[in-house]
Amino acid sequence: MDWDSVAASDVIEALREVEWSTSPRSFAEFFSRLAFPRSFSKWMSRLKCNLYYYRTNYFILLILVPGLALITRPLAILGAALTALSLAFLNDSFAATFNEKMIRTIRHFSPHLAAKMRPPHMPVIRGRSAARKKVYVCGQPRLVFVLLGLTASFVLWFASCGLLWVLYAFATALIMILLHASLRTPNLKARLNTYREEFRAVWRNYSEL
């Protein structure tokens, strides 16, 4: 795949739609073959490729670093976990899976309530892409859960008197991710994995028409 022709918005859209259930890459693979890019275009191409291919590793790193930094502040750790959950709702696959499991659990106690939590029916029109369909969680647009989760996280951080420390911890994690994505040279396995996921995405779109 030619990552030079891929825009940053396309990478964000792909991360929103792709499956995140894949296991993280091994420690040996994650830290092997580090080198500085030779040009700005090579750096941008490498950055986009690594952010897509090592997405699970980066998400774990984004949680692990603040967790270790806030180990003496339980409320701040809870706020960080709630932030991670809120950001995970931005991924289509995670939001849909969470919604289905939550509805199945509630159905055991209240089938009527579970039926109300079902997302509204949206018929698929032949010839139109289903990539922009609206995602619901427990009957509400997922943006509602994201905003509520982030607001609750901010309250927990403020109550723990560690808001500035939390920002430092997240900034450290983001810098570590940026450095790794800039230095890790894309390998053949990353390219083959990208082609395979592109084929699955195209096949899924055709099957929904």
* pLDDT tens, position by position, 49-78: 888 888 888 988 888 887 787 777 788 778
Predicted model pTM? 0.60
Distance CA 48, CA 15 (A): 11
Q: Return the pLDDT at 177.
A: 92
Q: Return the pLDDT at 194.
A: 54
Task: Tell me the mean pLDDT in the region 162-180.
Answer: 85
Residue 131's pLDDT band (boundaries 50, 70, 90)? very low
Burial of residue 104, with CB atoms counted within 10 A of its CB: 0-12 exposed, 13-18 middle, 19 or more buried: exposed
Percent of the chain with pLDDT over 90: 4
Task: Tell me the mean pLDDT in the region 154-158.
Answer: 82
pLDDT at 200 over 60: no
Residue 17's pLDDT band (boundaries 50, 70, 90)? confident
List the single range of 79-88, 113-122, 185-194 with lowest mean pLDDT: 185-194
- The one-letter code for the residue type at 143 is L
- The one-letter code for the residue type at 84 is A
Task: Tell me the mean pLDDT in the region 128-144.
Answer: 70
pLDDT at 205 over 70: no
- Angle at which helix 40-53 crosses helix 8-17, to 10 degrees, equals 10
Q: In sequence order, what are the beta bridge partners of 184?
A: 34
For the record, the structure tokens of 122 come out as 């949206």
Q: Return the pLDDT at 175.
A: 93
Q: Return the pLDDT at 196.
A: 52
Task: Tell me the mean pLDDT in the region 74-87.
Answer: 82
